[in-house]
């Protein structure tokens, strides 16, 4: 019947379009993320176990963040006022007309829509409970403990952590932020290329500290050149060797603050106030990470 056809079309337009658009958007975002992940994988050599481990943790974090955001968006959509009001009105009119052959089909559609809403609500409740449980577990976890220790150390200096993304560039971004605090613009790309060039021109100072993870032998000249190329052009994780190079490039000492040991000063031969970064062993998925620092924000008195 014509009334049944109109009711079906209204239910489709009102009940499914917004959710369908969101789901389509989520699929595209997941596809885009997979492309980004593949690029990240291609940038890290397969035999570099340390960076492959960090890459795995970074990928897991990116996927978890995307899943979390998608869950929140779906939950927010499910909390919107029901869009089935007009559909229900038409269904009531059909019932009043005593069209017995049509009523059961319409009532079944409305009942299914209600079940979908109830299922979404149950999933949302379950997700909230899992998040709460994870937060409780994290209160005694290594990441939380490390964060507390660092906050205490930094607060004594009237400082706090300036969070840096965990994207393979964290050490260089932390240095970049510190230089901007001194009104000196040194881009991420510039810092990476300068570091690679300095290491190449002072190979004897760096090559003895680089070993092939598969054999344990010192890098060959070819392997060292590949390492320098990745330092310049890829999101390769930086560490103490790169900090040493940067201290010479910038002609300044670099202070590395840690939770469980005294600060390390790299480039002590340079006078003046050192730039400060924070080294975290348990920042993301129990992985290593660098952050910067900034002046402590004192909350206003209540």
> Would you please indicate which residues are annotated as catalytic (active-site) residues?
167, 170, 289
User: Regarding predicted confidence, which is higher, 301 or 215?
Assistant: 215
Domains and CATH numbers, the chain: 2-138 (no CATH), 142-295 (3.90.70.80)
Least confident of 13-22, 187-196, 232-241: 13-22
User: Regarding predicted confidence, which is higher, 152 or 126?
Assistant: 152
Q: pLDDT tens digits for 271-287? A: 999 999 999 987 655 46
**Residue 14: per-residue pLDDT:** 42
Helices (H), the chain: 2-43, 49-78, 85-96, 103-138, 142-155, 170-181, 188-201, 203-206, 221-233, 240-250
Task: Indicate if the pLDDT at residue 180 is higher than 80.
Answer: yes
Average of pLDDT values for 80-98?
51
Q: pLDDT tens digits for 17-47? A: 677 787 888 888 888 888 887 777 777 777 7
**Residue 59: per-residue pLDDT:** 79
Average of pLDDT values for 58-84?
72
- pLDDT class for 93, splitting at 50, 70, 90? low
Average of pLDDT values for 45-55?
75
Average of pLDDT values for 245-250?
97
Long-range contacts of 239-248 (CB under 8 A, 24+ apart): 239/171, 240/266, 241/199, 241/206, 241/209, 241/210, 242/171, 242/172, 242/195, 242/199, 243/171, 244/205, 244/206, 245/194, 245/195, 245/198, 245/199, 245/202, 245/206, 246/175, 246/191, 246/194, 246/195, 248/198
**Residue 17: per-residue pLDDT:** 66
**Residue 190: per-residue pLDDT:** 97
The closest of 290, 287, 295, 186 to 246, measured between CA atoms, is: 186
pTM of the model: 0.54
- pLDDT class for 159, splitting at 50, 70, 90? very high
Q: pLDDT tens digits for 94-150? A: 455 544 444 454 555 667 878 888 887 888 777 667 655 655 555 557 777 888 889
**Residue 43: per-residue pLDDT:** 77
Least confident of 56-60, 96-100, 180-184, 211-215: 96-100
The answer to whether the CB of 164 falls within 8 A of the CB of 177 is yes
The answer to whether the CB of 256 falls within 8 A of the CB of 268 is no
**Residue 3: per-residue pLDDT:** 40
The answer to whether the CB of 100 falls within 8 A of the CB of 146 is no
Query: pLDDT averaged over the chain?
Result: 80
How many other C-beta atoms can be found within 10 angstroms of the C-beta atom of residue 270? 15
The closest of 182, 5, 8 to 112, measured between CA atoms, is: 8
Q: What is the dihedral of CA 69, 72, 74, 80, to 10 degrees?
A: -140
**Residue 62: per-residue pLDDT:** 80
Which 8-state DSSP code applies to residue 19?
H
Q: pLDDT tens digits for 192-232? A: 999 999 999 999 999 999 999 899 999 999 999 999 999 99
The answer to whether the CB of 4 falls within 8 A of the CB of 74 is no
For 155-210, give the DSSP string.
HTTTEEEE----SS-HHHHHHHHHHHHTT----HHHHHHHHHHHHHHTHHHHGGG-
């Amino acid at each position: 019947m014509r009334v049944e056809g109109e009711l079906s079309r209204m239910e489709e337009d009102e009940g499914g379009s917004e959710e369908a658009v969101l789901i389509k958007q989520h699929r595209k975002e997941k596809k885009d993320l997979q492309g980004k992940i593949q690029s990240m994988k291609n940038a890290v050599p397969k035999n570099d176990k340390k960076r492959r481990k960090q890459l795995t943790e970074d990928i897991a974090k990116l996927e978890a963040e995307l899943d979390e955001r998608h869950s929140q968006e779906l939950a927010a959509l499910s909390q919107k006022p029901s869009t089935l009001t007009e559909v229900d009105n038409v269904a009531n009119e059909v019932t009043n007309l005593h069209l017995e052959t049509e009523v059961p089909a319409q009532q079944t559609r409305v009942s299914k829509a209600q079940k979908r809403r109830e299922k979404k609500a149950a999933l949302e409740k379950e997700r909230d409970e899992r998040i709460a449980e994870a937060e409780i577990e994290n209160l005694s976890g290594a990441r939380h403990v490390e964060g507390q220790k660092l906050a205490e150390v930094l607060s004594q200096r009237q400082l706090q952590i300036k969070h840096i993304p965990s994207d393979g560039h964290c050490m260089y971004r932390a240095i970049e932020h510190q230089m901007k605090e001194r009104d000196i613009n040194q881009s991420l790309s510039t810092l990476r290329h300068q570091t690679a060039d300095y290491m190449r021109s002072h190979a004897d100072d760096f090559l003895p500290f680089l070993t092939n993870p598969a054999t344990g032998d010192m890098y060959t000249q070819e392997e060292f050149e590949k390492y320098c190329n990745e330092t310049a052009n890829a999101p390769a994780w930086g560490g103490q060797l790169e900090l040493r190079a940067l201290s010479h490039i910038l002609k300044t000492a670099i202070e590395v603050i840690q939770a469980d040991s005294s600060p390390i000063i790299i480039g002590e031969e340079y006078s003046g106030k050192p730039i400060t970064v924070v080294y975290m062993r348990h920042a993301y998925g129990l992985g290593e990470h660098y952050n910067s620092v900034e002046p402590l924000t004192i909350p206003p008195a209540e």
